[in-house]
Amino acid sequence: HYLNYIVIAIFTVVFAVMSFSGSLTSSTIYLLEKIAIAVLLAVSLSVVVGFLGELSLGHAGFMCIGAYLGGKTAVVLEPLLGEWPTLFISLIVGGVVAAVFGMIIGLPALRLRGDYLAIVTLAFGEIVRSVFMNSSKESFGGSLGLDTPRFDKDILFVVAFLMVLATLAVTQNLIRSKHGRAITAIRDNEIAARATGIDVTKYKL
């Protein structure tokens, strides 16, 4: 279980040293940021699809809402607070907003199962994309996207991979806990899980 942490930590340290020594190009650094974000998405999606067994296709929609609202927070706060405080506040705002929308969409959507749940969550993702694409330039940038402050590119990918390590830790500890056992029990047999007293709706949500 610790091999994942060791590999990611070594990977992060090696590329951080290369970045600080000037050995990495800007395109490589940008790619590393994208890789970290994709890993975060995959790890979080594995909780819903892998451990819970629900086919949700709206994950990118929640990520999109969090990114846009976190980005908007950065636009407002960066002139007031500076670079790094703004970054961490924006991360918290993005996560909280995504979670709130997850609750709002989850309550009605989780009454559905299988293909129906997949279709509803896919539609949600498309609605989110359309709303932001058709927003005004002053609000969320419209079709060109939101113009946000660019944090120090030599360090930002390191922060992103530290977030990956934190997400892995939270996910693995969740799955090993009694809550994780309840989640996997629902995946294996929802009727049996409900019969043993597990609050299926709560854990799905």
Output the tens digit of pLDDT for each of the chain's 205 residues: 688 899 999 999 999 999 989 888 999 999 999 999 999 999 999 999 999 988 888 888 999 999 999 999 999 999 999 888 999 999 999 999 999 998 888 888 877 877 888 898 899 999 999 999 999 988 999 988 899 988 888 889 999 999 999 999 999 999 999 999 999 999 999 999 999 999 998 898 8
Give the predicted TM-score (pTM) of the model: 0.85
Using a CB cutoff of 8 Å and minimum separation of 24, what contacts does 116-121 make?
117/54, 117/55, 117/56, 118/55, 118/56, 118/57, 120/58, 121/56, 121/57, 121/58, 121/59, 121/61
Rounded distance between C-alpha atoms, residue 115 and residue 118, angstroms: 5
Q: Which of 101, 52, 55 is CA-nearest to residue 202?
A: 52
Helix (H) or strand (E) holding 80: helix 59-81
SS3 137: coil
The dihedral built from the CA positions of residue 32, 34, 40 and 45, taken in this order, carries a sign that is: negative
Under 8 Å between Cβ of 109 and 101: no
